[in-house]
Amino acid sequence: MRDAQAPVWRKSSYSAEQDFGTCVEVAELGSHLGVRDSKDPSGPHLTFSRDSWSAFVRAIRSRSL
């Protein structure tokens, strides 16, 4: 049986298109989101509030960054 507290990491939808070893994974961590490097799954991850993550994604999509 899987630990109910263990995050479920998902790879970026762009990972299948370009596999240059630069993939990220995202997981829901309660009220926050975690982001990590898929090459180092046991390494550290960054944690963002949902609002911060949404603002980041919007900026990327609008090419503001």
pLDDT tens for the chain, 65 residues long, are: 455 678 999 987 766 666 566 788 999 999 999 999 988 889 999 999 999 999 998 999 999 87
DSSP 8-state secondary structure symbol assigned to residue 20: S
pLDDT confidence of residue 16: 62
* CA–CA dist 5, 7 (Å, integer): 6
Does the pTM exceed 0.95? no
Instruction: With beta carbons less than 8 A apart as the criterion, state whether 49 and 39 touch.
Output: no
Full strand arrangement of the beta sheet holding 32-37? 10-11, 24-29, 32-37, 46-49
The conformation of residue 28, written as its DSSP 8-state character, comes to: E
